[in-house]
Amino acid sequence: MSGRSVDGHGELAEATHLERHNAVTPVPEGQKDATALDQFWIWAGANIAPINWVLGALGIVLGLGFWDTVIVLAVGNAIGVTIFGLFVLMGQRTGVTQMVLSRSAFGRRGAYLPTIFQMVIATGWIAINTWIVLDLTAALLERLGIPGSPTTKVILVLLIMAIQVGLATLGFYAIRTFEKFTVPVTLVILVVMSVVAWTGGDIRWGYAGEVTGAARLTAMSQVMTAIGIGWGITWLAYASDYSRFVPRSVPRGRLFWAGA
């Protein structure tokens, strides 16, 4: 299956079986068939999302100016994704998941705590992604004349969560294929949203913010740490889960930039 998409139920079932068989053991080099581009689609899908609109506004909410917010987010994200990219390389080298790698540092029982953190983080991401997509979908349906009743929202929540859980259950090969087709669509939607906001809204590009002095530095530090750096390192627990399918023949530099 050298770098190709998994088409058909038979191939997907075979790929899922291989992934589960190597859940806690290193993926044999002969079974590694992923490419650096596969990593790009997966992690681009994790980062290109409507939630960025919410996170990007937090700096303004905390009283920072527009360019203050842009700078700290850019610097923070650069630091966070650099760390993340290094963790991605661990998967290619070892062939195991990040949770298995944590045992080398914490031991089998010591790894229970990172595992709990991973569960909490995963639950949080599912909740956030469900909430954002739910609001956007409900608003779109209302524009189309379908009222956003509680029943409609419950159905949407169940559908969104079923898709997320289903993809997670099928694993890397299903996620890779899903992201390859959805990332371009999501990117186009976000670009359109941005253009509409920039051209249709009263945006003060030179907005200097409300806080100054020590309060300004504190707010900048908070945004850089929590949203900038924090965005990248939040994914560390999953960094090697997908890169473990990348053969060592793929240049490390290419894999780093694709993952970061």
Q: Residue ranges per domain, the chain?
A: 35-200+214-259
Higher pLDDT residue, 177 or 6? 177
Q: How many residues are given for the chain? A: 260
Q: Give dist(CA 247, CA 245) in Å, integer.
A: 6
What pLDDT, in 10s, does the model give residues 12-49?
555 555 565 567 788 889 889 899 999 999 999 888 87
What pLDDT, in 10s, does the model give residues 86-96?
999 999 999 99
Whole-number Cα distances in Å, 166 to 70, 175, 236: 36, 10, 22
Given a contact cutoff of 8 angstroms between Cβ atoms, the answer to whether 177 and 38 are in contact is no
Question: What's the confidence (pLDDT) of residue 218?
Answer: 93
Q: Give dist(CA 217, CA 59) in Å, integer.
A: 12
Compute the half-sphere exposure of residue 230: CA atoms within 13 Å on the CB side of its CA.
Answer: 10
Q: Give dist(CA 228, CA 84) in Å, integer.
A: 12
Residue 29, token pair as written in the block: 């080099």
Q: Say which residues have a Cβ less than 8 Å from residue 225's Cβ, sequence separation at least 6.
A: 76
Range 75-81 average pLDDT:
95
Range 122-135 average pLDDT:
80
φ, ψ for residue 209, nearest 5 deg: 90, 170
Helix (H, G, I), strand (E, B) or coil at 190: helix
Question: What's the confidence (pLDDT) of residue 5?
Answer: 45
pTM of the model: 0.81
Q: Is the pLDDT reported for residue 203 higher than 50?
A: yes
Q: Which of 153-162, 199-208, 247-256 has the lowest mean pLDDT?
A: 199-208
Q: Give dist(CA 43, CA 231) in Å, integer.
A: 12
Q: Which of 80-84, 101-105, 130-134 has the lowest mean pLDDT?
A: 130-134
Range 209-223 average pLDDT:
92
